[in-house]
Amino acid sequence: MKKSLFLILAALLAWGGWAAPAGAQSDGFYLTPKLGVSFFSGDDRFETTIGTFSKRGHSNRFAGALALGYDFSTYGAPIRTELEFTMRAPFETESNGRFTDGRPVTSRNKMNIHTLMFNAYLDLETDTAFTPYLGAGLGVAFVKGSNYPTDTVTGEVVTVDGGNASHYARKFTWSLTGGTAVDLTDNLALDLGYRFFSFSDLTTGTYVQGSTYSGRPMLHEVMLGLRFSY
């Protein structure tokens, strides 16, 4: 996934550099491919028929995003809105627990989180090449939680009722953003930003004959992008 996403974003960067020549008049629309790092933290809890595994986990992964937006500064308002889709490499944590018969077990927990967001930004004009901004977003997260228990003593992977616990869920999410853009040309800007995502309580529901995943994941992200205006 990382290789494919990198190739797609590289192609968009190359296309954007060709399609947005310096000095061309922008009509407000812009395209921003972004690359960065996503920092996961939160409580993981898998409840299965062979045991319960919980831990406050931390994991750092590669992230890539593509945003299509509109800049209302053409109407004199320092406001931008955009639709953004972000993909992230799977977050992985480990937690220790016990089988129902008391034997120790280690669980590899994996979580995929992709988001589709509507974002709004307030640009803080400085009359220089640097434009700080603040923003917020609302959207939906596409989440897959997976759990792979391993017998701590034997090292054998243990199936849960004939399979490993895995389930998809969609979850409302919100984000807060802050960053700065640096104008490189009239139609090209470098965008460096930080954002925080909150998913509140997340439960994937019942699957694999009674197994569930629950948690309170949070994401902190640092993203670097190129904003091509058209």
**pTM as predicted:** 0.76
Sorted by where each begins, the domain ranges of the chain are 2-229
Between 153 and 56, residue with greater pLDDT: 153
Please give the average per-residue pLDDT across 128-144, as a whole number. 94
Residue 109, CA distances (Å) to 63, 117, 136 in order: 19, 26, 30
Polymer length in residues for the chain: 230
Longest Cα–Cα distance in the chain: 71
Tens of pLDDT, residue by residue over 15-70, are 455 444 544 556 889 999 999 999 887 665 656 555 555 555 567 889 999 999 99
The Cα 141–Cα 115 span in angstroms is 4
* Interval 80-122: pLDDT, tens: 999 999 999 988 777 666 666 677 777 777 778 899 999 999 9
Nearest to 61 by CA among 43, 41, 84, 45: 41
d(CA 136, CA 176): 4
Domain boundaries 2-229, CATH class: mainly beta
* Contact call for residues 121 and 73 (beta carbons, < 8 A): no
**DSSP symbols for 172-185:** EEEEEEEEEEEEEE
